[in-house]
Amino acid sequence: MFELGLQAIYSGVLTGGYYALVALGLALVFGTMRVINLAHGELVLLAAYVAYSAEVHLAISPIAAIPLSLVVVSLVAVLVYVLLSHITRDRELNSLILTYGLGIVLTNLMLLIWSADIRSTTATWFQEGAVLGDTLYSSRSEVIFFLVSLVLVAGLWFWLTRSWHGRAVRAVSSNRDAAMLMGVNPRTTEVLSFLVAGLLATFAGIALYTGKTIDPPLGHALTIKAFIITVLAGMGSIPGVLLGAMLIGITEALTISFVSTSLQDLAGMVLFLAVLLLRPQGLFGFGTRRG
Amino acid sequence: MIAAMRGFAVLATCLVLALGQAKAEDFVLGSHLPLTGSLAQVGNGMHEGIQVAVDLFNRENQGHQVKLNTIDDESSPAKAVAAVERLASERVVALSGGYGSNIIGPASEAAAKAKLVYITSGGVGPELSQRGLEYFFRINNTEGYSKAVTGLIDDMGVKKVSIVYNNKEATTDLARTVEKTLSDAGIKVSSLAFDGGHADFKPLINKVKLQDHPDLILMSGYENDYIGILRAGNVLKPDIKAIVGVWSLATSEMNNKFNDLVQYVYGTSMLPYPAEFATPEAKLFAETYEKLYGKAPDYLGQFGYVQTRLLLQAVLRAENDGTLGKGGLADELRKTDEETLIGRVKFDKNGDNPEFAQRMGQHQGNKVVLVWPAKAATGKMVFPATPWSK
């Protein structure tokens, strides 16, 4: 029983790292622009498909395909931003509709280009076991991308809190007009947010491609998972995304091990609803000040 | 006079062309399949087989031509019903297609209301053929898969089996049928359901490894489930003698794409790989399939082809007998008794095919070897063996 629980927690932590990678980009755009990019999961999936094409047609490893995926995903992320920037009324609601539609378009484009077949890396190195102390089991891909997620969370947090551009992003999110008066160009800042979200989506896509299987309808499920984690963490809290993602991962793994495998997603959703009821601002978010 | 003759010639030419046009599209066959959405992969695979059957029919029957009208149901039951209603309004002669028991159920009921024959191989749930629908036909079923899986496990002589199954309808039905048969045979069985998709299977396989200690793991799921479970097995290395799956596993695609991962894994398969097409019909099917799609046919293509071929043959018979427009197609289809690419097909009063029996294949190197039943075997099973013990 102890061994089962320990492995469940370990698997949950590693899965949490992967979930955090998927959610970070969405959380960044949500935190800076108050826009929920419902095409974010499709961007993650696009990065995975570019890695697949690079592996099959150029015979390069998924890791070496990161620059190529980054270029493609960044271009699409900027395109999403350009379309969003044309919304002048009811931005929060209309951006939801627009990005949802873009998600459908991207899904069908991926279906046309890569067909509906299941894909995953053929490089077996990523799937080999990485055993810790003869009791904790994982694949190499999981360990690598868990470490990558830690580095990216720390890097993103540092960028947002310590760099001028990061502060500009926070300033625009906090008060767009005041930021403009202080010499910040909101458009440049927002494009930058989308580009960074594209970078995060790229790493998430490579983690997905090396660790799991992909098919075109998967993007929508990734967006839902990212949205749940973003809300659970609390708006604008980057370290909260990692902790919230781990909480979801551990809850799901413990549910599989001790309750029922079928209830895995339900357990995550119950946790999400409980947090929404008890702490609407999220686990690590701040309450809205009124006055 | 010359002008009148010219006019007559033009009129006659137009009439001949018009008649030729009508003749060229004598029948419109309707189909709804999930070409997009979560079932897009299987939907497209089946559609390829249906298209091959239509192409071959048109090649063999110059007098009667068939046009295929397919609507994408987007993996949604509601859209499948709408697709059937639209195809009925467009006066299709019958319907071939559908994937997923939850989609086929309402779609075939809509077809029955429109008095349209509906033939499928995309849903194996027992309840589908127990509804008393006069116009519903199916060439495969859970029983046929269950017989093959339990027959193989029985031959292996294992004592403890863990079944891990996707909680979708067809996979659950199969898992329960196999569990009952194995339990009745005195084998100790434990079952664990999981949510399909792209989950991390390590906690599940770890539970099987630490709590169940089985001799064999049976997976009832789909491609991405198998890949996830086998990868989890490869990391956790449970001490088992064999790992068995059902559909979508002992295929050329899995052997090519995930060769290391699937070594010594068993799955249902009508044909070995590389495929050996023995009969002239099977050879023609494989040639046409490869010409159209540039790849070897898989099991989905075979099922789509067989159901459509049987349907079109019945349409032709009913047309020749003059009963097609008078509701005679269902009666004609019920007379079917034929050896096909998937074995014998003979429909009972519910439109089911009790003759259906699958075979079991095992991935061995770059091949899928048929290992059960003995009369169909193309090689010996490698037992005990798993991908991680090789």
**Which of the residue ranges A92-96, A179-183, B5-9, B162-166 would you say has the lowest mean pLDDT?**
B5-9
With an 8 Å Cβ cutoff, are B210 and A216 in contact? no
Q: What is the pLDDT of residue B6?
A: 58
| pLDDT, tens digit (0-9, with 9 covering 90-100), for B202-229 | 889 999 999 999 999 999 998 889 999 9
Contact B347, B119 (CB under 8 A): no
A171-180, B11-20, B149-158, B230-239, range with the lowest pLDDT = B11-20
User: What ipTM score was computed for the predicted complex, to two decimals?
Assistant: 0.86
Position B21 scores a pLDDT of 44
DSSP category for residue B130: G
| A51 band by pLDDT with thresholds 50, 70 and 90 | very high
CA angle B215, B218, B224 (to 5 degrees): 135
The residue ranking higher by pLDDT, A87 or B383, is B383
- How far apart, in whole angstroms, are the C-alpha atoms of residue B356 and residue B340? 11
- A5 has a chain B CB within 8 A of its CB: no
- Round to whole Å and give the CA distance between A203 and A183: 32
Q: A17 to chain B: which residues are within 8 Å by CB?
A: none
Q: Distance, in angstroms, between A110 CA and closest chain B CA? A: 11
Q: What percent of chain A has pLDDT over 90?
A: 56
The more confident residue out of A174 and A289 is A174
Residue A47 near residue A202 (C-beta atoms within 8 A): yes
Tell me what pLDDT residue B390 has: 64
Cβ distance of A116 and B44 shorter than 8 Å: yes
- Within an 8 Å CB–CB cutoff, is residue A132 touching chain B? no
Interface test with B, best of A4, A9, A127 (most B CBs within 10 A): A127
Out of A68-82, A112-126, A211-225, B10-24, pick the least confident: B10-24
Give the residue-averaged pLDDT of A152-175: 88
Interface test with B, best of A19, A52, A137 (most B CBs within 10 A): A137
Establish if A224 touches chain B: CB-CB under 8 angstroms. Answer: no
- Residues of chain B found within 8 Å of residue A108, distances taken between Cβ atoms: 36
Non-local (6+) Cβ contacts of B263 within 8 A are B363, B364, B365, B385, B387, B390
B40 touches chain A (CB under 8 A): yes
Q: How far apart are CA A171 and CA B316, in angstroms?
A: 73
Domain B8-141+278-346 falls under CATH 3.90.226.10: no
**Mean pLDDT, to the nearest integer, of A166-183?**
85
Phi then psi for residue A139, to 5 deg, are -95, 160
Between CA A38 and CA A33 the distance in angstroms is: 13
- Residue A175 is predicted with a pLDDT of 83
Which among A15, A245, A50, A255 has a CA at the least distance from the CA of A139? A15
DSSP conformational letter for B126: G
Checking if the pLDDT of B1 tops 90, the result is no
Sign for the pseudo-dihedral over CA of B44, B277, B280, B136? negative
Q: Give the pair of three-digit tokens for residue B265.
A: 């894994």
Dihedral, CA of residue B343, residue B348, residue B354 and residue B356, to nearest 10: 20
Q: Give CA angle at B105 (B102, B109), nearest 5°.
A: 150
CA nearest A105 in B: which residue?
B36
Residue B11: what pLDDT? Answer: 52
- B155: its two tokens: 């031959």
Q: Give A278 or B3, the one with higher predicted confidence.
A: A278
**Chain A residues with beta carbon closer than 8 angstroms to that of B36:** 107-108, 111, 116, 216-217
Residue B33: name the closest of B103, B136, B88 by CA.
B103
Residue B109 has pLDDT above 80, yes or no: yes
The label of the residue with tokens 């999220």 reads: A282
| A21 at interface of B, judged by CB pairs closer than 8 A | no
Q: How far is CA A67 from the centre of its chain?
A: 18
Indicate the CATH number for domain B143-274+359-376. Answer: 3.40.50.2300
CB contact under 8 A, A8 and B236: no
pLDDT above 70 for B4: no
**Cα angle, residue B43 at apex, residues B42 and B46 outer, rounded to 5°:** 85
- Do B162 and B208 touch, CB atoms closer than 8 A? yes
**Omega prior to B274 cis, within 30 of 0:** yes
- pLDDT of B169 strictly over 80: yes
Cβ–Cβ contact A261 with B under 8 A? yes
Mutate to test the interface with B, among A9, A45, A220, A256 (most CBs of B within 10 A): A256
Nearest of B328, B330, B312 to residue B108 by alpha carbon:
B330
Q: How many other β-carbons are positioned within 10 Å of the β-carbon of residue B151?
A: 18
Q: Peptide bond preceding B106: is omega within 30 degrees of 0, i.e. cis?
A: no
What phi and psi, each to the nearest 5 degrees, are found at residue B372? Answer: -150, 140
Residues of chain B neighbouring A217 (CB-CB closer than 8 A): 36-38, 40, 75
The domain spans of chain B are 8-141+278-346, 143-274+359-376
Cα A88 vs. chain centroid, distance in angstroms?
A: 27
pLDDT-derived band of residue A170, with 50, 70 and 90 as boundaries? Answer: confident
Contact residues, chain B, for A139 at CB < 8 Å: 231, 235
Q: Which helix (H) or strand (E) holds B137?
A: strand B136-138
Please give, one letter per residue, the 3-state secondary structure of B215-235.
CEEEEECCHHHHHHHHHHHHH
Say if A262 is an interface residue toward chain B (CB within 8 Å).
yes
CB contact under 8 A, B260 and A261: no
SS3 assignment, position B284: helix
Chain A residue nearest residue B260, CA to CA: A124
Using pLDDT thresholds of 50, 70 and 90, give the confidence band for residue B24. very low
What values do phi and psi take at A90, rounded to 5?
A: 45, 60
Fold agreement between B8-141+278-346 and B143-274+359-376: yes
Whole-number pLDDT of residue B32 = 97
| C-alpha–C-alpha distance, residues B84 and A106, integer Å | 28
| CA–CA distances in Å: residue B156 to residues B152, B215, B369 | 6, 10, 16
| Spatial contact of A237 and A282, defined as CB atoms under 8 Å apart | yes
Q: Helix or strand or coil: residue B146?
A: helix
- Domains by residue range for chain A, with CATH: 2-117+136-278 (1.10.3470)
pLDDT at B86: 97
pTM, entire model: 0.85
Strand B160-166 with B136-138, pairing: unpaired
Q: Which of B148, B112, B151 is nearest to B129 (CA)?
A: B112
What own/partner pairs with CB < 8 Å and gap ≥ 24 does A96-102 have? A96/A36, A96/A38, A99/A35, A99/A36, A99/A37, A99/A38, A99/A39, A99/A40, A100/A38, A100/A39, A102/A38, A102/A39, A102/A42
Nearest residue to B139 via CA among B345, B367, B362:
B345
Res. B18: pLDDT tops 60? no
Which structure tokens are listed for B358?
């699958």
- What does the pLDDT average to over B92-110? 95
Band of residue A42 on the pLDDT scale cut at 50, 70, 90: very high
The minimal CB distance from A257 to the residues B38, B194, B203 is found for: B203
| Encoded tokens for B324 | 């097609």
Three-class secondary structure assignment of chain A = CHHHHHHHHHHHHHHHHHHHHHHHHHHHHHHHHCCCCCCHHHHHHHHHHHHHHHHHHCCCCCCCCHHHHHHHHHHHHHHHHHHHHCCCCCHHHHHHHHHHHHHHHHHHHHHHHHCCCCECCCCHHHHCEEEECCCEEEEHHHHHHHHHHHHHHHHHHHHHHHCHHHHHHHHHHHCHHHHHHCCCCHHHHHHHHHHHHHHHHHHHHHHHHHHCCECCCHHHHHHHHHHHHHHHHCCCCHHHHHHHHHHHHHHHHHHHHHCCHHHHHHHHHHHHHHHHHHCCCCCCCCCCCCC
Residues 6+ apart with CB under 8 A from B92: B28, B29, B30, B69, B116
User: Six-digit token pair at A224?
Assistant: 């839902």
A48 shares contact with chain B (CB less than 8 Å)? no
In tens, the pLDDT along B312-345 reads: 999 999 999 999 888 899 999 999 999 999 989 9
